[in-house]
Each structure stands twice: as C-alpha cells, then as structure tokens.
C-alpha cells in the first residue's frame, strides 16, 4: 500500500530536505563560532573587571554562555529548517480528514 501525497505535500521531497539541512548546518557553524567568541568576550570582561578567574568561574561562564548561544541559534535554525522543508506551507494548507468512525464528522 503506497501513500498518496497531496500536491502541496513537500515533506517527502529529498531535494528540499537536503537544501534545508545544508542551510541548517551552515547556520550552526556560524552559531558555534559566535558561541566561541561570546565565551572569549565574557571571560575577557571578567578578567578586565578584576574578578578572580578560578577554574569554577571559567567552567561556569563558558558553559552558561556557550549553551545559551547554542540553544538560541539551534532554535532559530530549526525555524529556517521547518520553513525550508515545507512544513510551514503544509500547515498553512491543512485540510482536515474526515473520519467516518467519528459521529461528529457525520453531522457536518
């Protein structure tokens, strides 16, 4: 039994998916670079402010800043991935499927 795709169903298009995933990897490379620069900037700020840079402060600052930047960048990248693979267009053209077993659908 094969699944019939609707004309606007782009979720199975491998060309669109490959292009969207390539763009997501490109975005994540930039986000990783931004995270590294953000950690360096935060540590430089702490050093220039005269704070004692113990191992615990370096680890906590590095983890906090990098994870925050990476999480924000990954979520932003997923928005572009969702749009690039056709998920957004398919939701915009959603057509409810009528289930014959549901009595409420029979009344419509």
Domain membership of residue 46 (yes or no) is yes
Q: Specify burial of residue 5 (Cβ count, 10 A radius: 0-12, 13-18, 19+).
A: exposed
Residue whose token pair is 């029979």: 106
26 within domain boundaries: no
- How many structural domains compose the chain? 1
32 Cβ partners below 8 Å, 6+ apart?
70
Check whether 1 has a pLDDT greater than 50.
no
In a domain, 11, yes or no: no
Q: Is the pLDDT of residue 6 over 60?
A: no
**47 within a domain of the structure (yes/no):** yes
Would residue 21 be called left, alpha or beta, if left means φ above 0 and alpha means ψ between -120 and 50 degrees?
alpha
Does a structural domain hold residue 78? yes
pTM score, whole prediction:
0.68
| pLDDT above 70: percentage of residues in the chain | 68
Tell me if 61 is assigned to some domain: yes
**Rounded mean pLDDT, 60-77:** 96
Residue numbers of the domain that contains 44:
39-86
How much is the average pLDDT of 90-96? Answer: 62
Q: How far apart are CA 102 and CA 92, in angstroms?
A: 24
């Amino acid at each position: 039994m094969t699944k019939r795709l609707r004309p606007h169903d782009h979720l199975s298009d491998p060309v669109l998916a490959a292009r969207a995933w390539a763009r997501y990897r490109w975005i994540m490379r930039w986000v990783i670079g931004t995270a590294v620069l953000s950690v360096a900037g935060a540590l430089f700020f702490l050093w220039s402010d005269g704070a004692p840079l113990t191992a615990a402060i370096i680890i906590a600052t590095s983890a906090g800043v990098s994870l925050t930047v990476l999480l924000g960048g990954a979520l932003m990248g997923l928005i572009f991935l969702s749009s690039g693979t056709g998920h957004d267009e398919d939701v915009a053209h959603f057509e409810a499927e009528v289930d014959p077993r549901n009595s409420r659908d029979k009344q419509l």
